[in-house]
């Protein structure tokens, strides 16, 4: 049986989704539990490889399991073992899927949220959950700039040097910027993203919010097709994988 898992995790003290040799990962925690339950090593695949420090509200993974079980029993069994391991990850939903379902390759889109805490005082309760920017940001200017990023573009200027994507051309379907109390929240959706694309866009839009760049400068940065033309990469702590669309 193949099952689809929906996961929530805190990326603060883990090295992202993918199994690593030098520290814990979401994949390692889940595969450890699956081995306990099934008695054999089995790989669990995810919709996307989140980096160290990045959180997830609804990451999706799939696994194959020899024994048919009710989904809620799988969820409860996983979470019991994850609590025992003191893992910062829980399974929030399980559902059976067809054998040709693949968490990554069946996905039609992905959605991320990025949170900036924009106030003079830092936050204890939101530490490692937001990017604290103490200087005032102009959300309206950032919205004007975001328009230039929507649609189909060569995003080389917002691509990490280590990105393994075959092409820098992506289609950005959504980039909303909302001021919610003392936070500025970015909601970003596309079929797929380049490595660090969201964080690099946020880091550049933050410069627009500080009036260090003008909104129309974003068009010039895109056309430059040069990573050095854009702003610094925003910290991982503010980024959340919010949904995967199938």
The catalytic position among 10, 51, 64, 154 is: 51
Say how far apart CA 53 and CA 238 lie, in whole Å.
9
Task: Give catalytic status of residue 51 as yes or no.
Answer: yes
CB 26 within 8 A of CB 7: yes
Look up residue 142 and give its two tokens: 């950032």
Q: pLDDT tens track of the chain, all 246 residues?
A: 999 999 999 999 999 999 998 999 999 999 999 999 999 899 999 999 999 999 999 999 999 998 888 999 999 999 999 999 999 999 999 999 999 999 999 999 999 999 999 999 999 999 999 999 999 999 999 999 999 999 999 999 999 999 999 999 999 999 999 999 999 999 999 999 999 999 999 999 999 999 999 999 999 999 999 999 999 999 999 999 999 999
pTM of the predicted structure, to 2 decimals? 0.96
- Residue with tokens 């595969």, as numbered in its chain: 31
Altogether, the residues listed in the chain come to a count of 246
- Domains of the chain, each with CATH number or no CATH: 2-97 (3.30.70.580), 109-245 (3.30.70.660)
DSSP state for residue 64 in the 8-state scheme: E
Write the CA distances from 188 to 7, 30, 137, 143, 238, integer angstroms: 19, 27, 19, 13, 13
Could you give the residue ranges of the DSSP H alpha helices within the chain?
26-38, 71-84, 139-146, 197-209, 217-224
């Amino acid at each position: 049986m193949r099952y689809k898992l929906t996961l929530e995790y805190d990326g603060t003290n883990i090295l992202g989704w993918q199994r690593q040799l030098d520290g814990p990962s979401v994949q390692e925690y889940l595969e450890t539990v699956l081995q306990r339950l099934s008695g054999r090593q089995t790989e669990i695949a995810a919709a996307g490889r989140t980096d160290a420090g990045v959180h997830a509200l609804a990451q999706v993974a799939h696994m194959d399991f020899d024994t048919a079980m009710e989904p809620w029993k799988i969820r409860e069994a996983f979470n019991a073992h994850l609590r025992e391991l003191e893992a910062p990850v829980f399974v929030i939903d399980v559902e059976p899927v067809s054998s040709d379902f693949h968490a990554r390759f069946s996905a039609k889109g992905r959605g991320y949220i990025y949170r900036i805490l924009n106030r003079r005082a830092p936050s204890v309760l939101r530490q490692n959950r937001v990017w604290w920017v103490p200087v005032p940001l102009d959300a309206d200017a950032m919205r004007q700039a975001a328009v230039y990023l929507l649609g189909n573009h060569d995003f080389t200027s917002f691509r990490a040097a280590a990105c393994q994507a075959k092409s820098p051309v992506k289609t950005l379907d959504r980039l909303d910027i909302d001021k919610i109390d003392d936070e500025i929240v970015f909601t970003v959706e596309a079929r797929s993203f380049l490595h660090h694309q969201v964080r690099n866009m946020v880091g550049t839009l933050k410069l627009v919010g500080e009036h260090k760049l003008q909104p129309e400068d974003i068009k010039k940065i895109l056309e430059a097709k040069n990573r050095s033309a854009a702003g610094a990469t925003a910290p991982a702590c503010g980024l959340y994988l919010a949904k995967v669309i199938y």
